[in-house]
Amino acid sequence: MIRATFTIARRDIMATILSRGFLIWLAMPVIGLAFAVFASIVGGPRATATASQAVAVIDPAGDFTPWMQAVAARERTRTAYERLRAGHKDAVFARPAALLTDAELDALAKREDIGAIAALGALSFAAVSAEADPKAQAHRLLSESSRFGAALVVAPGTLALFTGDKAPAAERIRTLAGLAWTKRALAQDGLAARVEAVRAAQPDVSVTVLNEGAQPAGRKGGAPVLATGAATVLFALISLLAGALLSNMVEEKSNKIIEVLVAAVPVPAIYAGKLIAMLAVSLIGVTVWGLLFGGGFMLAAAQLPAGLLPTPPRGWPELLALGIAYFTCAYLIYGAIYLGVGSLCSTIREVQTLSMPVTILQMVILISTLGALANPGGSWYQFVSWFPLSAPYMMLGRGAADTGLGIHLASIAWQLAFAALVIALAARLFRYGVLRSGPPPTLRQLAGLKPRVA
C-alpha cells in the first residue's frame, strides 16, 4: 500500500513538473505582474512625485512661508513618529504623537529613522516672489509647465489655495496653512512661548490596563496589518493551488487514465498518492514564487527606512516556518475535500457546480478570520482559532503577533489529526467517484457511499 502510494505520487509529480503546462503555471504570477507593469507604462505619462508635492507660497508680506515650512516639517515628523511608535517599546516613543511639543518634534526630526520616513512623499513649500496680481500669478504658475502642483496665496486676513491637475491633497494643505496662521498669530502676540511652556508642562497620563493577561497579543504593535496579510496570502495560495486538483482529476477521468490506475493499484493508494503529489507540486510552486517575489521584496525593503515595514515579534524565520506548517495543514484538509469532490466530476461544468459550495465556504471562513483578527478576544476569537477549517488562516495570523510557540504546536497537531479524518472520509468518496459510471449520483447514493458500476 505504501509502495503503491509513493509510486502514484512520484508518477504524478514527474508528469506535472515535466510538462509545458507546469512552466506556464509557474509563470502565471510573473506574467500577471509583467502585464500590470506594461499597462502602467502604456497608460500615459504621469506627473512626477516631486512636481505633485510642491506648493508655491505667494506672500507679499514675505513672513508666512517660514511658518508654513516649519509646520509642515513638524507634521511630517509627527506622522513618521506615529508610524514607528507601533513597533517600538522604548521610552522615546512613550508619548502619543498628538501630545508632542514643537521642541520635542524638532529633536525627533534629527533621528535618522524618523527623518528618512518623514522625507517620503513629503509636501514642500517654496516661497515665490509676489507680483502685482497674486491670484493671476497663481493661475499662471499652475497653467505653465512648472514644478508646482498647488499655489497658496497669502493676503491680510485671508488664505486662498489654487490647485491644478497634479495637485497634492488640498485638505492637508488647508490644515497646515491653518496651523501656520495660528502659530504666527500667537508669536506676534507674544503668546507662542507661553503656549509651548504650558504644553511642555502637561503631566503624562498613566495608563492601567485591567485584565491585561486576558488581552491577546494581536493588539500589539503592527501585528494586525501583518496578521491580516499573512492570513490573506495563505487563503490565496490554498484557493489557487487546491483548485488544480479538480482539473487534474477531471482530465484523467476523461482520458480513461484513472481506469488503468484502478486496475493496477488500490484506490486508497491512488487517492493518497495524488494528494501527496499535488502537495509536493504546490510546495515547489510556492518555493519558486517565494524566491522570485521574496527576493524582489527584500531588495525593495532594503531601500526603505528602517522600521517602516512591520516586523513579526518572534522574527521572520519563525513566521515563515509557521506559514509552511499551516500551508501543509490547510492543503491537506482542503485538498482532500477538493479531490473527493473532483472524483465525482466528469466535466468542467460539474467541477464548477460541485466546487462552488467549497469556494463559498472558504470565503465565509476568510471573512470570519479577518473579523476575528480585527477584534481579538472573546469566545468568537477562540472558536475561529480552533475550528479546523479556519484554524490554519487564523493561527498564522496570530503567529504574526506575539503568540507563544506552544499554542501553535498544539494547533498544528489538532489540524493534522483533523486532516487525517477528512482524508479518510474523502477517500471513501474518492473510491465511489472513480468506480462509478453513468449519471451523477443522487444524495441517497452519496450518503450510502456505495458505488454503482455500470
Does residue 417 form part of some domain?
yes
Considering the domain architecture, whether residues 191 and 238 belong to the same structural domain is answered as: no
Residue 435 is predicted with a pLDDT of 62
- A 10 A CB-CB count for 255 gives 10
How far apart CA 232 and CA 310 sit, in angstroms, is 16
**Domain encompassing residue 61:** 49-201
Residue 128 is predicted with a pLDDT of 87
Lowest mean pLDDT, pick from 99-103, 152-156, 229-233, 248-252: 248-252
Does residue 347 form part of some domain?
yes
- A 10 A CB-CB count for 258 gives 21
Considering the domain architecture, whether residues 54 and 194 belong to the same structural domain is answered as: yes
Can you tell me the mean pLDDT for 184-195? Answer: 88
Does residue 57 form part of some domain?
yes
Considering the domain architecture, whether residues 147 and 232 belong to the same structural domain is answered as: no
Can you tell me the mean pLDDT for 331-359? Answer: 73
Residue 232 is predicted with a pLDDT of 85
Residue 410 is predicted with a pLDDT of 92
Does residue 64 form part of some domain?
yes
DSSP 8-state secondary structure symbol assigned to residue 315: -
Residue 445, pLDDT > 70, answer no
Q: How would residue 443 be classed by pLDDT, with cut points 50, 70 and 90?
A: low
Mean of the per-residue pLDDT values for the chain? 77
To the nearest whole percent, how much of the chain has pLDDT over 90? 6
DSSP 8-state secondary structure symbol assigned to residue 307: T
Q: How would residue 126 be classed by pLDDT, with cut points 50, 70 and 90?
A: confident
Considering the domain architecture, whether residues 155 and 273 belong to the same structural domain is answered as: no
| Lateral strand order in the sheet of 158-163 | 124-128, 54-58, 150-155, 158-163
Residue 218, pLDDT > 70, answer no
User: What does the DSSP assignment read for 91-102?
Assistant: GGG-S-GGG--H
Residue 113 is predicted with a pLDDT of 76
Does residue 96 form part of some domain?
yes
pLDDT tens-digit map of 26-56: 777 777 777 777 776 765 545 444 445 788 8
How far apart CA 232 and CA 406 sit, in angstroms, is 23
How far apart CA 346 and CA 155 sit, in angstroms, is 77
pLDDT tens-digit map of 371-415: 888 888 778 889 999 999 899 999 988 888 767 788 999 999 999
For the entire predicted model, the pTM comes to: 0.66
Residue 446 is predicted with a pLDDT of 54
Does residue 29 form part of some domain?
no
If one counts the domains in the chain, the total is 2
Residue 363, pLDDT > 90, answer no
Considering the domain architecture, whether residues 119 and 154 belong to the same structural domain is answered as: yes
Considering the domain architecture, whether residues 166 and 240 belong to the same structural domain is answered as: no
Q: How would residue 216 be classed by pLDDT, with cut points 50, 70 and 90?
A: very low
Considering the domain architecture, whether residues 163 and 300 belong to the same structural domain is answered as: no
Residue 221 is predicted with a pLDDT of 45
